[in-house]
Amino acid sequence: METLFRACHPDLSAASWAIRFAASQDNVMLVLSGMSDLEQVRDNLSCMEHFTPFTQEEYSLVQKAADLINSSITIPCTGCAYCIHNCPETIPIPKYFTLYNADMRELSTKAWTAQTMLYSHFSEQSGKASDCIGCGQCEKMCPQHLPIREWLKKVAARFEGTL
């Protein structure tokens, strides 16, 4: 993804793009950014010192990047974890969805992925996807209104070989 942005502005970091995008929105008066070291502070200041709002071309580039990212996500889970608080089977739903998404992205280029091993490790500590009893508590809590129970069946089929 970063190569798309570097092709447009080779001198800007990913953080600079993000800060400029946020600052270019209507009615934004303050942009906060997490920074870990002095170099990141300098980078943030450099893009805001002589602030230039996003151009239409830059907005289009961000949309293209978003479309590419979204097209590679099978389960559109944001990882908020609201779904796991009332799960009677202690299934780490967002973790499993993340593994499934990564597995689906990698399967087109690899015969084997590490996600199966990670799933096995996580399921030894928590409930497996196939442990879902279909109570629907997770779906009541999901802000994305995902059909979690259906996705868990697909996760179980992929990582446990069950249907």
**Is 94 a member of any domain?**
yes
Q: What is the pLDDT of residues 82-141, one digit of tens each?
A: 999 989 999 999 999 999 999 988 876 776 789 989 999 999 999 999 999 999 999 999
What pLDDT score does 162 carry? 64
How many domains are there within the chain? 2
pLDDT band at residue 70, thresholds of 50, 70 and 90? Answer: confident
Shared-domain flag, residues 88 and 61? no
Please determine, for residue 163, whether its predicted confidence score (pLDDT) is greater than 60: no
- The reply to whether 105 and 133 lie within a common domain is yes
Which tens digit of pLDDT belongs to each residue from 35-44?
A: 999 999 999 9
- Give whole-number Cα distances, 106 to 24, 84, 102, 113, 163, in Å: 35, 26, 6, 7, 22
From 47, 71, 95, the end of a domain falls on 71
pLDDT tens profile 124-152: 999 999 999 999 999 999 999 999 999 99
pLDDT for 1 beyond 90: no
Q: Is residue 26 part of a domain?
A: yes
Cβ neighbours of residue 109 under 8 Å, at least 6 residues apart? none
Among candidate residues 71, 91, 122, the one where a domain is terminated: 71
For residue 107, give its domain range.
82-160
Does the model's pTM come out above 0.85?
Answer: no
Task: Name the 3-class secondary structure at 20.
Answer: helix
Q: Kindly give, in sequence order, each residue whose CB lies less than 8 Å from that of residue 97, ignoring residues fewer than 6 positions away.
A: 75, 77, 79, 151, 155
Q: Tell me how far CA of residue 12 lies from CA of 19, 24, 148, in angstroms.
A: 11, 16, 39
